[in-house]
Structure 1
Amino acid sequence: MKMMWQRNINKNLLFMKMNYFFAYGAYAPIVPFISTIGKQRGYSAFVMGIALTALQIPSLIVRPTLGSITDVYKCRRFMFLAGEVLFALVVIGLVFIPGATASEMIDDKIVFETMLFWAFFCIIFLLCLGAVIRSIMEDTICVSLLGDNVNNYGRQKVWGSIGYGVVSIISGASVDWFSKGKDYKDYRPGYVISFFFSIMDIYVSTGIKVVQVKKNKTIGGDLKNVATDFRVIIFFISIICFGFLMAFIQNFLFWYLEDITNLYHPEIKPWIKTVQGLFLITQYFLSEVPLYFLSSFIIKRIGHMNVFSLAFLALSIRFMLYSLIKNPIIALSVEILHGFTNALTESAAVAYAAKLSPVGAEGTMQGLIGMALLGIGTPLGNFVGGYLIKSLGSIITFRLMSIVAIIVCIIQATMSLIINRIYRHEDNPVQTS
């Protein structure tokens, strides 16, 4: 006879939580360090901005296409596992790609003529492709498992933040430890940790039950109705703006940290990867975890789109604080805002997309959201961020982004008020025929 607690456990959601933990644990040693790995190789912020922009091509093309294909052919499980396997294989490639260091920045034109840069770029491109494939399937499967309880998405995704935070500090400390006595950072310990978590993720994911609802009507007709809804248009524009601004933090925050360390606190340089690991554990473990748990409550109280207004305000504050602080240890306190600018917003976006989606087109809708965020907003942020940081420096660039964020906040909040006034009597955001 099973115990009461055993009967109350949703096995599928348990495996989903474990998947998020191991998947984001696999990301932690690599993804946040891509720009600084390039910096160590002598690539300028502009070069890395272009590279990071190109890395988002899979998000622009693959996300909506893959979502539609898996909706039509009912192959979410296969593509989910395929993305995980590709990611794991590419991590092995990172271990063996020749390392490179440079004492100063290499001329941009020369960088693009070297085979080593293109080998590095291709490996990272495939890594991002694997991450894109598994992430869209992961969120779609999670939303399907939750059903009418989609606002509880944050309680599943929170385990990704826990994995990311825990692994990031372990990985950062390992890289610093194995780099003792060297004038460069040896990232191979992080790659090994990433590979281990990738294998565990594949193993756990095989236990997740994937159910797809059969669709009798054409998905294209339903999505046409969705795409012409004013609320959906504002939602997508908000997603693009959010991706643009978050790109500066996701891909250039560590660049900024290394800049202020070199300028004001060179004594911290030997342990900079550990410090960066502390930033990640603060972001994902101390900040995101509480906000993921509270996301359902907050979204129900203030609404999906008002969450975006709150996020843009928090982003403006973050950027301004970054531009004023000169000590990386003190800058660590700013990361307590990360949950408002990432976890809460992501939960609102996924839940709102699921609410807008026609039955049977969940994968397509999540793919379109991913395209807006990672295929349009983030690439624009990467390109503009790389150019501005090379031209103005990271500190002035972050101050400028603080002004941009508050302007976006005001405009987006105004649009939300208009939407609430126009559609306040409707329960369902989008009606499909």
Structure 2
Amino acid sequence: MRVDWKMFPMKLHYILRYAGTGPLMPFLPVIARQKGVSDHLVGIIWTVMPFFSLLVKTSAGALADYLRAHRAVFLTSLIIMTAALTGIYWSPAIDPEEHPIANATWDAPGTSGDRPPPWDAVRDTDVEGTSVGLCGGNTSECPGASLTRVELPASELATRYEFWFLFFWLLLQFCGYVVVLDLQEAVCFQMLGDAPHRYGQQRLWGTISYGLAAVAGGALVDWYSKDQDEKDYWPAHVMVALFLALDVLVVARLRFSVTDKKISRADVHEVFRRPSVMLTVLTTVVLGLSCGMIGTFHFLLVEDVAAAWDPEFSHLKLLQGLMLGVQCLVAEVPCLFLAGWLIKKIGYVNAFLLSLSTFCLRLCLYAAVTNPWWFLPIELLHGVSYAVAFAGVASYANSVTPEGAEATMQAIFGGVFFGGTGVGGLVGGWLFHIVGGWRAFLFVGVGNGVYAMLYLAAHLAVRRLWPARPPPPQGGKNYDETRSTEEPAREQQLLLNAAQVKLIPATSSSEFNNSDRQHSSEDSEREAVNQRKLTNIVTSV
């Protein structure tokens, strides 16, 4: 097996970068809830962060392209993300009020406020407290003297400095995260050069690392938090600091080239005048919405289902770590490895349709789970839903990128994607509050299926109404690839035809360009070679 040493540093970056975020970032919504933030406010926070980061990521991408300072922006954002993730651990919890469960308010229609309702009722509604379905439908297991944490209203949280301290670190880490994400993809495509289809083979190393780190981090948190009332994420924070510090050293020594041409605003604007590009932008928002719904509320749903299934469930973090392991190692790695081949084979449109359909199935299955261990097999759908979508968006952005705007285009499409995750947080939080957790996932899943049909119809209409501007790749080639391979062939044919009537020498444009770059002593020799080629061609004709 041949090792690609040119791309080895980039693979190492992916390994360290995702090993540094895997143990902690998926648990941030759970950590926010544990520190006293309500589920509804968690959704609002995860809505604000992506929209605020839009300004940061697009500005950082444009700055990197304009100043040709990709490495400096890359390193700065990585250091900021590391510092912010570390700061979250030291953010103080919002002091909760303690009340007996007998006095807690259970916001379910048809039930009294004195006792928790059975599981079927809890499943249909939100509960005013940190755990939904705490008693699992068996009220005899809920002693009246038990304590539960009551969520503070948003108006009260807004007056607490602990909330704003936590919000600051969450916002800062997310801004650093999205800039790192854009710059690493831009640098990776620059290093790949004329082989962008190999992007998935580089990115999959980050997925492997992320899955292993998440499983290890979840198990360590469970072990470290044994006999404690709440989970202590200290082992995860240690892993974050260690791996990301090593990644800073790797990024500082990455070798990649940056084109001398500076970003052209007119070229970027021209890209987004294409109807097919704008349709892809809208689809990216929907894909981001689905990812935002899962990323923000998935583990909250898992915790609620686990608490309802078994109030003494002691392997919660291990289960969540295993879920991430299945997502990354079993589902995402093969899909990333095959993503380039798949997109070439079926085209971007069919790849996005496949992702949307799988998101529909995945979210609907989440809504049906009552035993938390059943979440594990559902995670097998993560590869086709998320990995194909993410690789498709990144590759599509690279395929339509004007020269000199590499980081800018990745930032724009990445901003659109994470803007979609913000919409997912907003919609998910609102649905969680109005209809309850499982119905929220069901509604978003059905919405994916409906949009998939609308997207197909819109694509067919665009291809029919604007045939001069081809849609994303058909039969494995995008518009730029087709143009780059067909135009030289036409040029060679014209040159050969001209040679046959002895109008011009039968030399290719590449030979002309090479001759211009040689010294005067080599020009005469090149011309003699070309004349001999002309003689051979004419003779053969």
Q: Output the TM-score relative to the length of structure 1.
A: 0.93
**2: CA distance between counterparts of 1:297 and 1:265?**
44
User: 1:319 maps to what in 2?
Assistant: 363
Q: For 1:170 and 1:101, how far apart are their aligned partners in 2?
A: 30
Structure 1 match to 2:479:
428
Q: Which moved further from structure 2: 74-83 or 409-418?
A: 409-418
The residue correspondences of 1:41-80 to structure 2 (distance < 5 A) are: 41-80=35-74
Partner Cα distance (1:333, 1:354) in 2: 33
User: Which deviations, in whole Å up to 9, do the C-alpha atoms of 1:208-250 show, x marking residues without a partner?
Assistant: 112111116x611111110100111011001011111211111
Q: Which of 280, 289, 305 does residue 260 from structure 1 map onto?
A: 305
Q: CA deviation at 1:290?
A: 0.5
Residue 410 of structure 1 aligns with which residue?
A: 453
Alignment of 1:32-431 (within 5 A): 32-99=26-93, 102=96, 103-215=149-261, 219-268=264-313, 270-374=314-418, 376-419=419-462, 422=467, 423=470, 428=479
Greater alpha carbon shift after TM alignment, 243-252 vs 204-213: 204-213
Q: Which amino acid aligns with 2:439?
A: I
Report the identity percentage. 28
Deviation at 1:100, TM superposition (A): 5.1
Look up the SS of the partner of 2:259 in the other structure.
Answer: coil
Provide the C-alpha distance between the structure 2 equivalents of 1:213 and 1:58, rounded to a whole number of angstroms. Answer: 29
Shift of 1:264: 2.1
SS of equivalent residue, structure 2 residue 420: helix
Aligned partners of 2:179 and 2:411 also within 8 Å: no
Alpha-carbon distance in structure 2 between the residues aligned to 1:105 and 1:275: 25
Q: CA deviation at 1:353?
A: 0.8
CA distance in 2, matches of 1:91, 1:377: 23
* Distance across 1 between alignment mates of 2:95 and 2:368: 30
Q: 1:145-172: CA deviations, max 9, x gaps?
A: 1122112111111011111100001111
Contact 1:320 1:402 survives alignment (8 Å):
yes
Q: Which has the higher contact order (CA 8 A, sep 6+)?
A: 1
Q: Tell me if structure 2 keeps the 8 A contact 1:41–1:100.
A: yes
Structure 1 residue 418: Cα displacement: 3.8
User: Quick one: structure 1 residues 416 and 101, their matched pair in 2 at CA, closer, same or farther if it must change by over 3 Å?
Assistant: farther
Is residue 315–residue 341 contact of structure 1 (8 Å, CA) maintained in 2? yes
Paired with 2:478 and 2:182, the residues of 1 have a C-alpha distance of 27
Q: Does the 8 Å CA contact 1:311/1:340 hold for their aligned counterparts?
A: yes
Q: CA deviation at 1:194?
A: 0.9
- Distance in 2 between residues matched to 1:291 and 1:227, nearest whole Å: 29
Tell me the TM-score normalized by structure 2. Answer: 0.75
> In structure 2, what is the Cα distance between the partners aligned to 1:307 and 1:59?
27
Worse-matched range after superposition: 403-412 or 53-62: 53-62
The 3 A distance-change label for structure 1 pair 403 and 78 is same
Question: Residue 12 of structure 1 contacts residue 207 of structure 1 at CA under 8 Å; is this kept in 2?
Answer: no
The Cα offsets for residues 77-99 of structure 1, whole Å up to 9 and x where unpaired, read as 11111111112222332333224
Equivalenced residue count is 422
Deviations 1:376-425 (A, max 9, x none): 21111111111211222110111111210100111112233344553379
In proportion to residue count, which structure has more helix?
1
Write the distance in 2 (CA, Å) between the matches of 1:127 and 1:300: 35
Whether the aligned pair in 1 keeps the contact of 2:57 and 2:175 (CA below 8 Å) is no
List gaps (5 residues or longer) in structure 1: none
Check whether the contact 2:86–2:240 (CA below 8 A) recurs between aligned residues. no
Q: Tell whether the 8 Å contact from 1:77 to 1:210 is kept in structure 2 after alignment.
A: no
Match of 1:23 among 17, 23, 30: 17
Maintained 8 Å contact 1:171/1:277: yes
SS of 1:235's equivalent in the other structure is helix
2:202 is aligned with what amino acid? Q
